[in-house]
Amino acid sequence: MEAFAARFFFDYLSVTVANEINGTGEKPGLTEAPTNQEGFNKLARGPVLRPEWAAAEVHEGKALNSLLRFVVTSGLYKRAEGEGRQGYKLGFQFGAHPTQGKPYVTVRGGHARNMPSMEISGGNGECARIAPLVRKHLGPQLVSRADVSIDIDQPGLFEKLHDYMIARSPDLKVHPPEVEGDKEGGRTLYWLRYLGLKRNGRKRYRKRGVWLRVYQKDKERLAREMIAPEDVRPHLVRIEFVFIQDERKGKTRLALMTPQEMIADHQRSREMVEWLAIECEGLAKEEAVMGLTKVSAPACDKTAEERAITGIGQYKATFIDAAIERIVDRDFGSDWSAAEVAPRDVRKEVARLVLRELAFTGAVENRVLWHGLDQIRTDAGKAERLRDQMNSFLSRQKVAHEAASKQMAAAYAVASDGDHRQLNELRSEIVWDHAVLSARRGEMPPTLAALDRAMERTLRGLI
């Protein structure tokens, strides 16, 4: 089975260089692009570079240099230049010879938000040669798409694969395979490629996971005039697993995997390869077992500042609306039609609103104490503080346990006496204690939450 699995190779690879700040495929220091509102037309052209992170251009330049150095050391030559696709401003194409053959490596840069990327296509097997070198020499990277292929020359295999997909589709609750092309120019099977139909009738294609493409390789090459008719092998079939990811964790994991590990990590792909080993290599069922290989992506969490920027981006409209509402109510008697509000006043009001809420709740003081930053401590002092916190937690837990035991014993005693009135009173006490405990844990019941909001509104009105 290992020998059969080793025949799989990379036939396509899309790589993005990870930035050195947070390991993502986006330039560090970029915030969300402003909406195209009046007065913001200049800013609406693209994301805004944060002044304190002006090194984003430096990171982009270093990433582009690393890609170009890799291309040069791989023995490739520039064949064409022009605008890149998918938002990139430039795209250089490279091939194995300065004038002959087709280019199969494309380096892209100049994106408004994303880091430079490289796309490696098949190139008559060149991707299989270059792809392992990418992981070894390119440094931290993200892989958004990888095509893992194998070529098998066996009569009737294309039809057997078609029957296999049709038989497995009901069990997997997926659509049956799509068939494109004809017998003359070569047929292609697409399976697991899309999830269904949108409301407008368009297909919803996968953004992550794996889909399968099977096609008659030599017939396709003949139709494209890449080989002579006498060189055609009519039963040659290429089986291609397309692994795609749109999230950072998935892209990082793909960048760490070999073709065999990608297949072994996905159940449907693994099952099909085992079926192929039985069908094409004559292996017994117990021999055609592909070991499950799990590859863990390294942790690449966002910084606290990046999470804060994301939170502001999500709730900025709410903050701004609250500030505008306060200005209109305070300065214009709640008359929105007569109000004239300047953006600078809104920004000041948002700042006042946030600062007042932080002061009202005491969240800043609590968080400073949480991190132990209220004063400088030695290592012994830090350990003693943690020990005191643990002892305090255990003490509260002990008191709560003893109180619960007493209430339980009282409940059993009252239940045995049959005093329903006293039992109801005790039940009310237990329910109230549970509500208080839940509130302390942050699990406030709806009634208490409503009461808490009403008290906060009252207090804010008095301030």
pLDDT tens across the length of the chain (463 residues): 888 888 899 999 999 998 877 778 888 765 444 444 444 444 444 555 454 455 667 778 888 888 998 898 888 899 988 888 888 888 899 998 888 888 999 999 888 888 999 999 987 788 988 988 888 888 888 999 999 999 999 888 989 999 999 999 998 888 889 988 887 778 899 999 888 787 777 888 888 889 999 988 888 888 777 788 888 888 889 999 999 998 888 898 888 888 999 998 888 898 999 999 998 888 888 888 887 777 766 655 567 777 787 788 788 889 999 999 999 999 999 999 989 999 999 999 999 999 988 888 788 888 888 888 877 778 888 788 778 878 887 887 788 778 777 777 776 676 666 666 776 777 777 766 666 666 555 555 566 566 666 666 666 666 5
Residues 344, 456, single domain; the answer is yes
Is 295 inside a domain boundary? yes
Q: Locate tokens 């509102």: which residue?
A: 37
User: Cβ distance 84 to 108 under 8 Å?
Assistant: yes
Read off the tokens for 391. Answer: 């002892």
| Residue-by-residue DSSP string for 239-280 | EEEEEE--SHHHHHHHHT--HHHHHHHSHHHHHHHHHHHHHH
Residues 259, 295, single domain; the answer is yes
- Determine phi and psi for 318, rounding to 5 degrees: -65, -45
Is 403 inside a domain boundary? yes
Q: Locate tokens 């997909």: which residue?
A: 165
Please identify, among 114, 139, 164, the residue that sits at the C-terminal boundary of a domain: 139
Residues 240, 339, single domain; the answer is no
Which domain covers residue 442, as residue numbers? 306-462
Q: Locate tokens 């159940």: which residue?
A: 267
* DSSP H/E element including 236: strand 236-244
Residues 67, 178, single domain; the answer is no
- Determine phi and psi for 14, rounding to 5 degrees: -115, 115
Residues 396, 260, single domain; the answer is no
Residues 213, 66, single domain; the answer is no
Rounded Cα distance, 208 and 321, in Å: 36
Is 338 inside a domain boundary? yes
Would you give the DSSP letter of residue 416? H
Residues 102, 119, single domain; the answer is yes
Is 12 inside a domain boundary? no
Q: Residue 124 corresponds to which amino acid? A: N
